[in-house]
Structure 1
Amino acid sequence: MPEEVLFKSESDMNRSEIASLLRRVADNLDAGEAITLSAGSDAVTLDPPARPTFEVKAEREGPTDAPGELSIEFELEWDEDGGDGGGGGDLTIE
């Protein structure tokens, strides 16, 4: 199935700025509210269901014999028809 990018933003921020944005997402999820992403004139509002699939991925990109780029990705997934996501193992983050 082809992927359609509805919104994308990438910018350098300090840890506090990132934490503030993640906290806003967490607050909206906790309150059952939609999440609006906006940057410049681009914006999209998404309303995750009560039980979306939550994916966490840690990656290293680049050659295996040299320093590369590290990343942590957080992803919420759900069916567009409103169905909830699938199940998986219990996740903890420390």
Structure 2
Amino acid sequence: MPEEVLFKSEHTQDREAIASYLRSVAEKLEQGGSITLKAGSESVTVEPPARPTFEVKAEREGPADGAGELSIEFELEWDEDSDGSGGSGGALEIE
């Protein structure tokens, strides 16, 4: 299935600003509301279901000697026509 990017924003920020964005998303999830992403004239609103799939991934891209780029990715996934009741794997812990 081809991927369609509905919205993308990428820029360097300090850790406090990133934490603020993540808190805003967490609050919207707790409230059960929609999430609107905006940057300049672009925006998209999504409505995550009550139980989306939550994927967390730590990656290293680049040479095997460790001189590449590190990333942590947080992703919510759901089928547009589903209630989000799927998912598998062990419980996530963040320390």
Taking structure 1 as the reference length, the TM-score comes to: 0.96
User: What is the percentage of aligned positions where both structures have the same residue?
Assistant: 70
**Structure 1 stretch 62-71 or stretch 37-46: which is displaced more?**
62-71
Task: Summarize the alignment of residues 37-52 of structure 1 with structure 2, pairs less than 5 Å apart.
Answer: 37-52=37-52
Deviation, structure 1 residue 66: 4.6
Q: Which runs of 4+ in 1 moved over 3 A?
A: none
For 1:64 and 1:45, locate their aligned partners in 2 and report how far apart those are by CA, in whole Å. Answer: 39
Task: Summarize the alignment of residues 1-94 of structure 1 with structure 2, pairs less than 5 Å apart.
Answer: 1-84=1-84, 85-94=86-95
How many residues get paired?
94
Alignment deviations for residues 18-47 of structure 1 (CA, whole Å, 9 cap, x no partner): 000000000000010110001000000000
Can you give the 5+ residue segments of structure 2 that lack an aligned partner in the other structure? none
Taking structure 2 as the reference length, the TM-score comes to: 0.95
RMSD over aligned Cα atoms: 0.9
SS at match of 1:25: helix
Change (3 A) 1:82 1:64: same
